[in-house]
Structure 1
């Protein structure tokens, strides 16, 4: 087989793998891991069950890969955000605006949040997935540190920073669920609504 044909075959395999992952993500988000059958994924991907097994040994393996990919990207983005030479307010604004933009531009963003929620709640998931889910604490820690810095400079309200980080993430989780329910009708709310929940109100001068 020529190098060109090998390259083409790899491209086909990569495209098919992405197709499987995308369809599985939607099914897991809507039905959950337990209720999703491997045949559901193969049918949605328009491939035979046998061919699907050529790429993944089980639906659990697909679930774990999707979950790991979601957390890897979210954790990497959170750490980059924290390291930027911006004020705490600018960081929180950027985080909220980018996440809302993701909801508007890519439907899979909401599905990933639903997948993470399921993995965080349900017991009937692979042990490997349970280990990955522990990474959510790092996400909360990053936002907690940013909020703490904003409280020190007087930008953010003086509530418990950890509680405010919980409000930050649960608000986005709620929007992800709403996005999934609304479908094409979904329109992300004004980012200032969320940002306003954190900002300390400045008293008007006389």
Structure 2
């Protein structure tokens, strides 16, 4: 790859990322249907013509954001699951990292809000619904296995492992969405309080 080709590729990636960041901000605040392509282009500081070179429609941006977000959380969940450590340590590490991310990443908070909106809507693009149906439950299933591992190690409370995983992710998503609906990130509850719901 020549330097010019590499530079052009970097420029294209930068433009695409600007579109994605702007669209995430617009979608998380206004929802899919109230957001216009013009709004996204204005926020990304690019022309609508250039935006259309990357995405044929706002639905395509929405689908890309949902797909990418679910892939990232699923990849992170598999990573934690495969760590060579006790379940209690896996959960504690995950909470620490998620707390840090909720506290510092507006895009993470917005993404949690976007996915929650998408899951509660019957009027999203069919491809987005297909992606949600295929990928949204994977973190719950993986963390159910971690909860089960912890129960076998006698460090995690009794109960249905999937129920515990649902409680875990619902708590995290709720905290992220709560912070998204406030002008500034709020202080999160003490991490130990959440751990106490799961640890013996």
Question: Normalised by the size of structure 1, how large is the TM-score?
Answer: 0.91
**In the alignment, what sits opposite 2:152?**
152
For 1:125-204, list aligned pairs within 5 A. 125-134=124-133, 135-200=135-200
Q: Distance in 2 between matches of 1:6 and 1:189?
A: 48
Q: In angstroms, what is the RMSD of aligned CA positions?
A: 1.5
| Aligned counterparts of 1:85 and 1:149: Cα–Cα separation in 2 | 12
Q: What is the Cα deviation at residue 182 of structure 1?
A: 2.2
Partner of 2:58: 59
Normalising by the residue count of structure 2, what TM-score does the alignment of the two structures yield?
Answer: 0.94
1:94 Cα deviation after fit: 1.0
- Return the offset for 1:3: 3.2
Number of residues paired by the alignment? 199
C-alpha distance in 2, partners of 1:57/1:138?
Answer: 29
Question: Comparing 188-197 with 59-68, which one deviates more in the overlay?
Answer: 188-197
Distance 2:193 2:106 in 1: 22
Cα separation, 1, equivalents of 2:83 and 2:3: 42
Shift in Å at residue 123 of structure 1? 1.0
1:4 corresponds to: 3
Judge conservation of contact 1:19–1:45 (CA < 8 Å) in 2: yes
Aligned to 1:203: none
Q: Distance in 2 between matches of 1:86 and 1:6?
A: 44
8 Å CA contact 1:101, 1:188 repeated in 2: no
The alpha-carbon deviation at position 157 of structure 1 amounts to 1.3
- The answer to whether the 8 Å contact 2:103/2:185 transfers is no
